[in-house]
Amino acid sequence: MSEICTTPHANDFAACVKGVDLAQALCRADAEQIRSLWLRYQVLYFPEQVLTHPQLERFTETFGPYGHDPFITPMVGHQHILEVRREPDENVVPFGSSWHSDWSFQAAPPSATILHAKIVPPVGGGTHFADGIRALATLPEDLRRAIDGRTAVHSARRPYSHAGYRAGGKRTSMKIVPSDDAWQTQSHPVIRTHPESGREALWLNPVYTLAFDDMEPSESADLLARLFEHMLRAEFVYKHRWEEQMLVVWDNRSVMHCAQGGYAGHRRVMHRTTVAGTVPV
- For 32, the domain range is 5-275
Is residue 138 in a domain? yes
Is residue 280 in a domain? no
All residues at 6 or more sequence positions from 121 whose CB lies less than 8 Å from its CB, including other chains: 263, 266, 267, 268
* CA triple 153-106-16, angle to 5 deg: 105
**Beta pairing class for 112-119 and 268-275:** antiparallel
- Phi-psi group of 26: left, alpha or beta (phi > 0 → left; psi -120 to 50 → alpha; rest → beta): beta
Q: What is the structure's pLDDT at 213? A: 97
Is residue 60 in a domain? yes
Q: How far apart are CA 53 and CA 106, in angstroms?
A: 26
Is residue 113 in a domain? yes
DSSP 32-76: HHHHHHHHHHSEEEESS----HHHHHHHHHTT-SBPP--SB--BT
Q: Are 161 and 180 in contact (CB under 8 A)?
A: yes
Helix (H, G, I), strand (E, B) or coil at 1: coil
pLDDT digits (tens, 9 = 90+) for 25-83: 999 999 999 999 999 999 999 999 999 999 999 999 999 999 999 999 999 999 999 99
Q: Are 132 and 257 in contact (CB under 8 A)?
A: no
Give the model's confidence band at 91: pLDDT under 50 very low, under 70 low, under 90 confident, else very high: confident
Is residue 198 in a domain? yes
Is residue 128 in a domain? yes
Q: Residue 185: CA atoms inside 13 Å, Cβ hemisphere, count?
A: 10
Is residue 281 in a domain? no
**pLDDT for 171 beyond 80:** no
pLDDT digits (tens, 9 = 90+) for 55-69: 999 999 999 999 999
How many domains is the chain partitioned into structurally? 1
**pLDDT for 167 beyond 70:** no
Q: What is the structure's pLDDT at 246? A: 98
CATH code, domain carrying 199: 3.60.130.10
